Amino acid sequence: MTLRLVFIHLGEAKADHLWANIENILQSSSDYKIDVITSKPLDDAPSDNPRLSFYVYHSDIFLSSVLDKATIDPKFRSGFWRFSLERLFALTAHHQNYPAASLLHIESDILLLPNFPFHIFDKLEKPAWLKQDKDRDIAAILYIPNIGKSNWLLKKMLQEIEGKKQINDMLLLSAISTKFPESVTILPSISQQDSGLINKSYQMSSKIKSQISSNFATFDGIFDPAALGIWLTGNDPRNAFGVTRKFDTHSLLNGGTFVDPSKTIFSFSESEGLTVLDNGKRVRIYNLHVHSKNQKLFKNGWEKVLLKIVEASGKSRIKRTFSLRILLQLVNANHKNGTLLRFLSWLPFVAPLRKFGAKFKNL
C-alpha cells in the first residue's frame, strides 16, 4: 500500500514554518508524496516539486451546522480551534481521493527526525495517534491505514461531536480512543511502564502507562506528543505575549502531560539521532513538536541548532527570548478582532492589577 504524507492548513493564518517543514521533508526523504490541503487555492505555491500536490477542502453543510453549535471561540487566532477540529474531517475526506493509499497526517510544526520509521506505519492495521494526558489525544502524527478505517473514524467523530457544546480536536480523539481502545493504536511516548520520563506529579493508572508504552517494541523508539518539543525548543510565543521559554518545567507540567522531560538527559548526533536516557538505556526519539515554530529547526543546518539546544538543556535553567515583532502582531490581530482590551488585560504586568480590582470590587 502506498503511504502519502498529509499537511492540512485551514484558514487565513500565516504558517511560514509549514512550508519550511515541507521543504525539509522533500529534501530528507525521497520516497513519499506529500499532499497539502488548504481552505482555498493558493495564489502562489511555494514549491513546484513534482512530489507535492495541493488540494482545497470544502466543509459540507451538515458538518458546518454541527460545528457552529459547539462552543468554539471564533476570534482566537483567526479561528484556530475551529480549524484544528475541522482538519480531522478534512483528512478523512481527502482519503476519498486516494482510497488505495494509507495517510500519515503531520502537523505543520512537527519535526520528523531522519530516523523516522515510515516503513513501520505502513504495517499498522488501525488508526494511530498520540496521547498527551488523560483528557487529550494529539493529532500531531495521525495515521489512517485504509479508506475503511477512515470511514470508521469519520463515523465515530460525527457521533461524538453531535450535541456536544465543549469539544476540540484533542478531546474528540481522546473520547474515541477511550471508548474504542481495541480499534486505535496509541503511539509510544515512553519506553516502559516504569519509565523515568513519567511525570511523577501526574496520577497515572497502570492501564494508561501500559497504553502509552505497549507499542514501544513495534517501533523501538518513542514519539513526542508535545512535552519533549515544548521543553526543548520552547513554547509558542504567541501564547505568551512574544516570550519563548525553553526548559520551563513548571509551566509545562502545570499544563498537563504524562511526560516530564526534565527528568532525563538528551543527546543528539547525526549518526545516532536524538535520544533520551531512560533507566540507563538510550531511547530513540522520532519527532519533536516544535511548538515555538522555530523555523531554523526546519531549514538547512537544523542539526547544529538542535545540538546547541540539547547541550543547553543540561544546565537546568529556563532560557527566555522575546520577540517584539510577534507581540506587535498579536496587538494588531486583537485590534482587528475587537478583543484588544481583553488581550491587554492579560499582559503580565496588568494581571496583578486586574486581580486587585476584582478583590476591591468584592469588598
Provide the angle, in degrees to the nearest 10, between the axes of the packed helices 80-94 and 61-69.
150
**What pLDDT score does 65 carry?**
75
- Listed as ranges, residues in the chain with pLDDT below 50 are 74, 76-77, 356-357, 360-363
Q: Are 11 and 81 in contact (CB under 8 A)?
A: no
**What pLDDT score does 245 carry?**
87
Nine cell digits for residue 182? 481495541
Query: Could you tell me the pTM of the whole model?
Result: 0.88
- Domains for the chain: give ranges and CATH numbers: 1-187 (3.90.550.10), 188-322 (no CATH), 333-362 (no CATH)
**What pLDDT score does 341 carry?**
74
Nearest to 289 by CA among 259, 315, 319, 254: 259
**What pLDDT score does 145 carry?**
97
Cα separation of 131 and 202, whole Å?
A: 14
**What pLDDT score does 54 carry?**
94
**What pLDDT score does 343 carry?**
60
Nine cell digits for residue 192? 516502559
**What pLDDT score does 354 carry?**
52
Q: Is residue 337 packed enough to be buried (19+ CB in 10 Å), middle (13-18) or exposed (0-12)? A: middle
**What pLDDT score does 363 carry?**
46
